[in-house]
Amino acid sequence: MEPDQDREYLSAHERYRALRAEPGLPVGMGGRTRTVTRYDDVDHVLRQIWEFGGSMGYNPDLPEEEQILPSIPEPRHGRIRRVINGAIAPSRLKPVEPYVRDLTRSILTEIVTGEAVDVVPTLVDPIPVRAMTFTFGIPEEDADRFRRMSDEMVENSTEVMTTGIGGLHPEFSDYVDELIAERLRMTDRPNDVMTRLIEADLDGQPLSPVAVRTQMMILILAGNETTRNLLGNLLYSLARAPGLFAELRRDPTTVAEAIVEESLRIDAPVQSLFRTCLKPTTVGDTELDTDTVVQVCLGSANRDNTKFDDPDEFRIDRTNQRDHLSFGAGPHICPGATLARMEARIVLEQLADRVSAIRLAPDQDPEFAQFFVARGLKHLWLRLEPA
């Protein structure tokens, strides 16, 4: 990696390495937070949901049906999670696979020319949002509008706790409401995530249309940029390691999965989560008061050398490959992980089929998204040589 291209990220990881070696939980962000960097501590905080409250905060003024999944207090969170898990269970995602494969193929037909191409707007950005469109049952002809609205929602997402997710983007919210109303009028509904949420049984009751809209919108919000970050990070790693791509081409089926996991580990698309102490508690020997905010550094945990050998090396031969914490851990663990992994695997398999070599374009530096809690690329110019 070229240090001048990405100083912020590299220095954050140097700092994490130093912090992991310090005893206790260092104070961070101008004294307002405690920083959790070691693997075991990160895993502990994420699992102790009765001691550490949700990463996006909680607004008690919002009605129950407008509370988004990460903020719903237990035990209701657990009940809604079962509905969401059922709606996007791996077995339900089978029809998405050929759709994403065809989509990737048609994009590669356009961009695999051997000329420099920015793969972020052409490949990385469209795939997660189009996969989402298909998975949820958004009409194909609305794909562009859906993409624009979901991007705009991501841009404003820091306001979600104040406005509620519906208030974040009223046009999008009204659009989803209309789709749900239309579905409710249908007698023979298509088999997709929207229908499954509408027909879900929550202790003998259906979810209200507003609750369906709320959870659909948080799934879209949470799954878009995260998956893009994964795809961009993956492509950047491949471009810098020609041997890795050659290995992928030799055995795409096995190697693709290993590369996806290793990319998730070494470049966690979500680098940090935040939690607030709900009561006095401890992490290791450190005592924390109620309302203390902790920064839970997933990116750091994934490079803890007590858990992963040679943690700064991209290696696809790890036996504990899936132990990274990039999808979180415990009851809030990412429900979209199967979908994200599937998209990334398909992109790799299709590249292995259509491309003989991936190189960084010589005159155009990659541009990274601002590093704070995420790791991703805004622009990545590559030369994809046709196979």
- Alpha carbon 360 to its chain centroid, in Å, reads 25
DSSP 352: H
Give residues 326-385 in contact with ligand HEM (rule: CB under 6 A).
326-328, 332, 334-336, 339-340
**Minimum CB distance to ligand HEM, residue 216 (Å):** 10
**Minimum CB distance to ligand HEM, residue 185 (Å):** 26
Location of structure tokens 């914490």: 325
Give residues 40-59 in contact with ligand HEM (rule: CB under 6 A).
46, 55
**Minimum CB distance to ligand HEM, residue 294 (Å):** 12
**Minimum CB distance to ligand HEM, residue 182 (Å):** 21
Q: How far apart are CA 304 and CA 195, in angstroms?
A: 42
**Minimum CB distance to ligand HEM, residue 336 (Å):** 2
In the chain, the N- to C-terminal Cα span, in Å, equals 26
Give residues 260-319 in contact with ligand HEM (rule: CB under 6 A).
269-270, 273
- Answer for which of 127, 230, 258, 266 binds ligand HEM (CB under 6 A) is 230
Q: How far is CA 92 from CA 86, 135, 191, 256, 260, in A?
A: 8, 9, 9, 22, 21
Give residues 106-125 in contact with ligand HEM (rule: CB under 6 A).
none
The DSSP result for 123-167, as a single string, is IITHHHHHHHHHHHT--GGGHHHHHHHHHHHHHTGGGHHHHHHHH
Q: Which is nearer to ligand HEM, 166 or 335 (CB)?
A: 335
Q: How far is CA 352 from CA 123, 131, 132, 252, 362, in A?
A: 15, 20, 24, 7, 22
Q: How many helices (H) and strands (E) does the chain have?
A: 15, 12
Q: Which is nearer to ligand HEM, 39 or 327 (CB)?
A: 327
Instruction: Determine how β-strand 33-36 pairs with β-strand 293-297.
Output: parallel
Total number of residues that touch ligand HEM (CB under 6 A): 25
- Answer for which of 53, 70, 252, 366 binds ligand HEM (CB under 6 A) is 70
Residues in contact with ligand HEM by CB under 6 A are 46, 55, 69-70, 81, 88, 218-219, 222-223, 226-227, 230, 269-270, 273, 326-328, 332, 334-336, 339-340
